[in-house]
A and B are shown apart, each in its own frame.
Chain A
Amino acid sequence: GAGVSQTPSNKVTEKGKYVELRCDPISGHTALYWYRQSLGQGPEFLIYFQGTGAADDSGLPNDRFFAVRPEGSVSTLKIQRTERGDSAVYLCASSLGHGGTEAFFGQGTRLTVV
Chain B
Amino acid sequence: GQNIDQPTEMTATEGAIVQINCTYQTSGFNGLFWYQQHAGEAPTFLSYNVLDGLEEKGRFSSFLSRSKGYSYLLLKELQMKDSASYLCAVTDSNYQLIWGAGTKLIIKP
B97 contacts the other chain (Cβ, under 8 Å)? yes
Cross-chain contact of A48 among B43, B91, B96, B101 (Cβ < 8 A): B96
Q: Which residues of A contact B50 (CB under 8 A)?
A: 100
Contact with B along A47-78 (1 / 0, CB 8 A): 01000000010000000000000000000000
Q: Are A91 and B42 in contact, CB atoms less than 8 angstroms apart?
A: yes
B contacts with A: majority SS: loop
Q: Which residue of chain A has its CB nearest to the CB of B102?
A: A42
Number of interface residues of B (CB under 8 A): 24
Q: Which residues of B contact A108 (CB under 8 A)?
A: 42
Cross-chain contact of B48 among A40, A100, A107 (Cβ < 8 A): A100
B interface, CB within 8 angstroms of A: 4, 8, 30-31, 33, 41-45, 48, 50, 87, 89, 91, 94-97, 99-102, 104
Number of interface residues of A (CB under 8 A): 21
Q: List 27 A-B contacts (CB under 8 A).
A: A4-B42, A33-B97, A41-B101, A42-B87, A42-B89, A42-B99, A42-B100, A42-B101, A42-B102, A43-B43, A43-B87, A43-B99, A45-B96, A45-B97, A48-B96, A56-B96, A91-B42, A99-B31, A100-B30, A100-B48, A100-B95, A102-B33, A102-B48, A103-B97, A105-B42, A107-B41, A107-B42
